[in-house]
Amino acid sequence: MRRVNSFTVVPRSDADEELLHRLLDASASLWNQITYQRRQNFTGPDIDKSVWDTEDYRKQYVGVLGSATAQQVIRKNTEAWRSFFALKEKGEANGLPGYWGNEEEGRELRTYIRNDQYTLRWGDRSTIEIPVGSDLKDEYDMGYRERLTLGVRGKPKWSDDQGRLELYYDELSGQFRAIQPVTTDVSRQDSPLADETAALDIGANNIVACTTTTGQQYLYEGRNLFKRFRETTRRIADHQSKVKREEGRYTSKRIRRLYRRRTRRRDHAMDALARDLFDRLHGEGVSTVYVGDLTDVLETHWSVRANQKTHNFWAFRAFIDRLACTAEEYGIVVEVRPEAWTSQTCPQCGSTEDTTRHKDTLTCPCGFEGHADLTASETFLRRHEGNVPWPMARPVCLKWDDHRWSASPRAHRPNEEHTHPQVTAGESA
């Protein structure tokens, strides 16, 4: 079974940092060159030209990256194109494989290192050794067999057969990070597989509301994150209006840079959310997570603001894929199930027509009052799991601070005196 270790890579000197930066930049340049030729082959007038018919770019970069690393970048690019063609056959392709930025505006700095080409040593002073091309070795006075040694921060969760390492620079945190796939035996997981279940209500104001069969609830608040997303969107619109008026164009370096920053901030927060959530659920013994199928909702309930949340900021389908990939690392299964009316259903009397939602609060004439999204996740869980105990613990409310999801000292609650007598304070977050 596939698992993933994530950790921070720390250059030990300015020279090491410069060398690492050049390695990643060269990988991005290689990716862009082969992507450009394959896109030209695919869209060009020569219909007999195959996307696989490219120059041997490996030879151009072997002096910087080394032969094995250059080949891994090319192989990763090939995988991206094969994935594109597979999705195209299903009618789900969402555009050609893209570039990793450009030299003027800044490239996305990343590379891929073959599983037998790097060495990780864990301990009090953990290190990783990675290969360097002969040209860079000469330039930085490295020995013929010497490799670049870097510090490592973090602890391995898995320690079996290592896979291809992904090494990249995270602009938001200003750190180099690594992702190491590991193939492990299920029987060697750090905790036994359990049989608890969780259900997620996904939105934009509150990105995830989660209820588990253990009685725990988690609420990931997204208002501040979406606010920053909208602020950047306004800046993009202002710049677009200006360049169109003054230069007759629709884009510029600044606009592209803003788009890239907006996307990276969102994806960084969503990746961190998925990892934080499943780390908590794994500790709760959850083996199955239900996620609502909102396809019909996205197609029928449309407005400018809602569309901006669900399709641009929220990126629902991409988020579900991110959840499923992260869940796999923890041995948790994600199942997409129907969740119609869960946000309008009163858990006390079952009414869907008389309930009223105002911001985060769901009320019903029968006397129920609770947090709308957490209540929806409870209803969703009971619909597919049957008799589920009422949440007993205080919900954990988490907010994004640009680096991590941090729990608030006290979760927001509606009026507790109006809640169902069977429902503890924990339900009406």
pLDDT digit string, tens, across residues 36-71: 999 999 988 876 678 888 888 989 999 999 999 999
Query: What's the average model confidence in pLDDT over 354-381?
Result: 86
Contacts of 96 (CB under 8 A, 6+ apart): 39, 42, 43, 84
Mean pLDDT on 3-9: 86
Low-confidence winner among 39-43, 178-182, 193-197, 199-203 (lowest mean pLDDT) = 193-197
- 274 in Cβ contact with 262 (< 8 Å): no
Could you give the CA distance from residue 31 to residue 157 in angstroms, rounded to a whole number? 30
- Give the whole-angstrom CA distance, residue 7 versus residue 137: 26
Structure tokens at 131: 């290969």
At residue 190, φ and ψ (nearest 5 deg) are -75, -5
Strands 2-10 and 175-183: antiparallel
What confidence score (pLDDT) does residue 22 get?
95
SS3 289: strand
* Pair 375, 427: CB distance under 8 Å: yes
Residue 307 has pLDDT above 80, yes or no: no
- Please answer whether residues 71 and 58 qualify as being in contact, where contact means their C-beta atoms are separated by less than 8 angstroms: yes
CA distance linking residue 86 with residue 2, whole number of Å:
22
* Residues 6+ away with beta carbon under 8 Å from 280: 216, 218, 396
Predicted confidence (pLDDT) at residue 35 exceeds the cutoff of 50: yes
Residue 118 has pLDDT above 90, yes or no: yes
Q: Where are the alpha helices (DSSP H) in 330-389?
A: 372-385
pLDDT band at 194 (very low <50, low <70, confident <90, very high): low
Separation of alpha carbons 137 and 65, rounded Å = 10
Rounded to whole angstroms, the Cα distance separating 132 from 20 reads 9
Question: Dihedrals φ, ψ of 397, to 5°?
Answer: -100, 125
Q: How confident is the model at residue 428 (pLDDT cuts 50, 70, 90)?
A: very low
Q: Among residues of the chain, what percentage have pLDDT more than 90?
A: 32
User: Mean of the per-residue pLDDT values for the chain?
Assistant: 82
pTM of structure: 0.60
**Model confidence pLDDT, tens digit, residues 7-32:** 999 999 999 999 999 999 999 999 99
Contact 369, 418 (CB under 8 A): yes
Q: Which residues pair with 334 in a beta bridge?
A: 289
Triad 271, 274, 276: Cα angle to 5°: 105
Phi, psi of 292, rounded to the nearest 5 degrees: -70, 140
**In this structure, what DSSP letter does residue 152 have?**
E
Q: At 51, is the secondary structure helix, strand, or coil?
A: coil
